[in-house]
Amino acid sequence: MTTQSHTKSTTRSLPIALLRARETVMAPIRDMLHDIQLTEQKWRILRVLDELGEVEQSAIAHEACLLLPSLTRILRTMEAEGQITRRQDKQDKRRTMVQITKAGRAVLEDNLATSLTISSNIEAQMGREKLDQLLDLLEELQAVKV
Amino acid sequence: MTTQSHTKSTTRSLPIALLRARETVMAPIRDMLHDIQLTEQKWRILRVLDELGEVEQSAIAHEACLLLPSLTRILRTMEAEGQITRRQDKQDKRRTMVQITKAGRAVLEDNLATSLTISSNIEAQMGREKLDQLLDLLEELQAVKV
DNA sequence: CCTGATTGGTTAACATGTTTACTATTTTAC
DNA sequence: GTAAAATAGTAAACATGTTAACCAATCAGG
């Protein structure tokens, strides 16, 4: 008998498999974002704001998987670049409400075609059915109580 | 008609869904790692080394989804902490071969029980069948040409 | 009311992520 | 054989990730 690892194969480790799959998917997206001077984080923030409208920072942090300290810094530069606006909430003065600007939306729209090409490429290789199945399972996994 | 986002729902965006699912799964693992002073990155490195034996740094970087500059720094501290050893390859002097130590393996073994508990918890909520299906799909996605 | 606990956000400090440049080897093409 | 290209890794600089400490506003219990 050879020296045997006691742990599961990393291929069957959920956190590692999720990370590796994500790296594969992100590779072409990162290329696209690089061309338009956008980091992956800023792209997620724009996507979330485009979807949710005006929301507080904690909500962005939760939806875009960022911690508040990172978000504070990133939003500061995005506001300077004119992609978002921020204002204090009238009812609860602790809250800062954030909104995407036309310029921010334009960034997403300008890259819609490229995004679709990337999605189509993956779909062509995996098949629409499997992709939907995967998205369903991921959605279910996100909802698990830990 | 209301102002409509042109992009897909972030829930059905593969990169965002993968990230969110991963955050859910990692939450309890991060708690475990925190208790033993291990970062997520060091944990992945130990897992990969435990699985592959003695390998060069580029291989670790690829398998653990780290860039070489990050790996250089992290391995420096892991070597100092006695979890890994490094040596120059005889045949190709550019290569640095890295190996997990007994102490490094011990770290993984000490947390085997906790890891299994976390896995079981997720399996209990999603079901073994769905989990296997998800891992199969992730494995397939990793192999897609981008 | 009013005090203590909670919440939303920022700041600071240090680790890691990311890009570019660089060194040292090895490989490839003549 | 030898010069150019490729490969493995490190260094430096700056952005982001992460933790802890902090402030201000709000909430909850008495």
pLDDT tens digit sequence for B74-103: 999 999 999 999 999 999 999 999 999 999
CB pairs under 8 A between A and B: 165
Q: Which residue has the higher pLDDT, B2 or B39?
A: B39
pLDDT of residue A2: 44
Side-chain half-sphere CA neighbours of A100 within 13 A: 23
Identify which of B9, B15, B63 has the shortest CB distance to residue A51: B9
The answer to which of B5-9, B13-17, B133-137 has the lowest mean pLDDT is B5-9
Range B134-140 contact pairs with CB under 8 angstroms and sequence separation of 24 or more: B134/A14, B134/A134, B134/A137, B134/A138, B134/A141, B135/A11, B135/A12, B135/A14, B135/A17, B137/A126, B137/A130, B137/A133, B137/A134, B137/A137, B138/A17, B138/A18, B138/A20, B138/A21, B138/A134, B139/A11, B139/A17, B140/A126, B140/A130
Residues of A in contact with B10 (CB under 8 A): 44, 47-48, 51, 63
Smallest CA–CA distance, residue B78 to chain A, in Å, is 20
Amino acid A63: pLDDT: 97
CB contact under 8 A, A25 and B18: yes
Q: How far is the CA of B1 from the C1' of C16 (A)?
A: 45
User: Of all residues in chain A, what percent carry a pLDDT higher than 70?
Assistant: 96
pLDDT band at B2 (very low <50, low <70, confident <90, very high): very low
pLDDT confidence of residue A7 = 73
Residue A88, pLDDT above cutoff 80: yes
Q: Please tell me which of the candidates B10, B22, B26 has its beta carbon nearest to residue A22.
A: B22
Mean confidence (pLDDT) of chain A: 93
Q: What is the spatial distance, in angstroms and rounded to an integer, between the CA atom of A88 and the C1' atom of C3? A: 27
- Residue B145: band (very low, low, confident or very high) from pLDDT cuts 50, 70, 90: confident
Residues A21, B142: C-beta atoms closer than 8 Å: yes
Mean pLDDT of chain B: 93
pLDDT recorded at residue B65: 97
- Banded model confidence at residue B3, pLDDT cuts 50, 70, 90: low
- Mean per-residue pLDDT, B20-48: 94
Work out the pLDDT band at B107, boundaries 50, 70, 90. very high
Q: What are phi and psi of A143, to 5 degrees?
A: -90, -5
Residues A64, A41: Cα–Cα separation, whole Å: 8
CA–chain centroid gap for B60, Å, is: 10
* pLDDT for residue A75: 97
Q: Which of B15, B48, B118 is closest, CB to CB, to A29?
A: B15
Q: What is the pLDDT of residue B1?
A: 43
Structure pTM? 0.93
Residues of B in contact with A7 (CB under 8 A): 47, 50-51, 108, 112, 115
Q: Give the CA B65 to C1' D6 distance in Å.
A: 22
